[in-house]
Structure 1
Amino acid sequence: MANIAIVGCGDLGTRLAHVLSDKGHQVTGLKRHPPSHEGRINYVAADIASGTGLDAMDMDFDQLFFIVTPDGRSESDYRAIYETGLNNLLAKLPECPWIFVSSTSVYAQSRGEWVDEDSPAEPQTVTSQLIRKAEQRLIESNPDNIIVRFSGIYGPGRESLLRMAAQSPAIQKEPPYFTNRIHQQDCVGVLAFLLEQRLAGRKLEPCYLASDDDPAPLWNVVSWLAERMHCPSPVVKTVGTDAVMNKRCSNRRLKDLGYQFRYPDFTKGYAELIDKGGLAL
């Protein structure tokens, strides 16, 4: 049994906490406003940006997960988490190994290129630059820390693409605008899997790209969703050759380690969402 800290117990963090608790691990969750009744998780009310509540936290952890979402999309929101908050935690837990949830937004490739963990990560937006600097800070502080770059997360409660597909939107068709995604259950699965591998003594890489097997053009995805929901097809939008975030993410390193995706492509995950959610129109 390991003593685990999860910093940021939103949807993903809470799901992970329950999975790890069910496996017998002792789990402490850091949350600014923790629930009043939660038997399986030891919550600590703390704010990493201000440092409030960190002194009340046990420092003897075997593993820390960092799964924090900024309050907004501004530079100051991201700086509060990925700079100030990160430094506050590192000062409190300098020796504890981390698994840090990052984003494929750190890649600036825009012509449909394949990217993997060794591809240049040179983001152009200030918010993604702050995430990238946080990655570098973590690896410099402890080479045993692990970065996990998630692509677009979807699942129950994350259904914006379904709503868009229902409105016959204008979508780029040529050249293909590739999109990458991962179901939220696979996000939790990947994080729990990496912890299991670490506890089993396997040598892990400093970075893993977590995205499903099918980097599909947005036109294909939205057309499939519209047909499945019995909605009008999207209309073609003409654009230039460059499009922000147009890339294809390779998950080979993660799969070579042994992870098996529960939702290997968008049809598996979105079919379940539509059928279970009653979203067919």
Structure 2
Amino acid sequence: MRLLVLGHGYSARHAVAALAADASSVAATTRSADKAARLAARGIAAVAYDGAAPSLAVAAAIADATHILVSAGPDAAGDPFLRHHAADVVQAAAAGGLAWIGYYSTIGVFGDTGGAWIDDRDPANPMSERTRWRVAAEDAWTAAGAAGGVPVAALRLGGIYGPGRNAFVNLAAGTAKRVIRPGQIFNRIHVEDIGLVTAAALRARAAGPISVVDDEPAPPQDPITFAAGLMGIEPPPAVPFEEAEFSPMARSFWAENRRVRNTRLRQELGVTLAYPSYREGLAGLWTSGTWAGGPEDKEEASPRFRRGATGG
């Protein structure tokens, strides 16, 4: 397997680790010269790409790949790779060398269900501009693969946590808040389980939407309370949702409420999650001492963890 990772970030790095035994070669795009050097030190061929214009190196990497994992978000202009390299993907698919494409999306594309359960096969109902971009990108990658009968899996991720990106980080920074909104539920997923599911989907050449979420959606305050208990500290005081301060993006996130089942993950891919709920995940991070993460985890963590903002 010759794996090409388009956007080598937090989740993709763990997927590459999970696929190490399968890959004869790995190439990955990056914007950073420093990151390119780190990739090269791990035996990964770094491909410089800033998304501003077509790249001969990216085109060559697409042509050489047998499997592609896409881990870069779209914007108003569309997917940053298909914007300049859609024809290259179509050509690779039609040529027969490309076996599978995986696209990292988000369960946010399901929109708001008022807390009701939703499954992999339920239709997307994006309610924000960003999730509409995501659905458009899912569709565009699916169409590119279809040119040569290449399966494309839309791996819709829940709230990602792991080393450097978890409730402990915000509790240690003194910025965690237990925001209480009765009935509010979130799904999460440990980054190691993202790697596990990605590897299973690739090996099965799975296609279509797959909800990559834990077994137990839970209220946002619960992981913070649980993490505080492991740390041996008092949890922060409860804050009613109406009194909490959010950025516009965070407030739009809280405006949606849903419970997502991981049916295909379990029944079709046969995956048993290493961390089926936030309790196993947080306990593992705490007992292993990996919760703070290393430099790369901190660099790749989402902005709210890099700046110590509210989070669970």
Asked if TM exceeds 0.5, the reply is yes
> How far apart are 1:141 and its partner, in Å?
3.2
Unmatched 5+ stretches in structure 1: 71-77, 199-203
Change (3 A) 1:226 1:65: same
Larger relative contact order (Cα-Cα within 8 Å, sequence gap ≥ 6): 2
Aligned length: 263
TM superposition score normalised by structure 1? 0.82
Task: Tell me whether 1:87 sits opposite 2:83 in the alignment.
Answer: yes
Alpha-carbon shift at residue 17 of structure 1 (Å) = 2.6
Deviation, 1:134, is: 0.7
Query: For residue 300 of structure 2, what is the aligned residue in structure 1?
Result: none
Across the aligned residues of Structure 1 and Structure 2, the Cα RMSD in angstroms comes to 2.7
Percent of aligned pairs with the same residue?
A: 25
The 1:278–1:41 alpha-carbon spacing in structure 2 relative to 1, beyond 3 Å, is closer
1:83 counterpart SS class: coil
More helix by share: 2
In 2, Cα distance between equivalents of 1:152 and 1:131: 16
Aligned residue number for residue 182 of structure 1: 189
Where does 1:86-235 land on structure 2 (aligned, <5 Å)? Answer: 86-94=82-90, 95=93, 96=98, 97-143=100-146, 144-159=151-166, 161-165=167-171, 167=174, 169-173=177-181, 175-198=182-205, 204-235=206-237
- Shift of the alpha carbon at 1:133? 0.9
Instruction: State the alpha-carbon separation in 1 of the partners of residues 141 and 12 from structure 2.
Output: 19
Q: How does 1:31-50 map to 2 (within 5 A)?
A: 31-33=30-32, 34-35=36-37, 37-50=40-53
Would the aligned equivalents of 2:118 and 2:261 in 1 still touch at CA under 8 Å? yes
Q: Distance in 2 between matches of 1:107 and 1:58?
A: 30
Gaps of 5+ in 2: 243-251, 293-312
Distance in 2 (alpha carbons) for counterparts of 1:156 and 1:172: 25
**C-alpha distance in 1 between matches for 2:112 and 2:289:** 35
Q: 1:265-276 to 2 correspondence within 5 Å? A: 265-276=277-288
Deviations 1:206-256 (A, max 9, x none): 11000011101123332222222223244444458x952321110011100
Are the equivalent residues in 1 in contact too, given 2:62–2:88 (CA < 8 A)?
no
Maintained 8 Å contact 1:116/1:250: yes
TM-score by length of 2: 0.75
Which amino acid in 2 is paired with 1:179? Answer: F
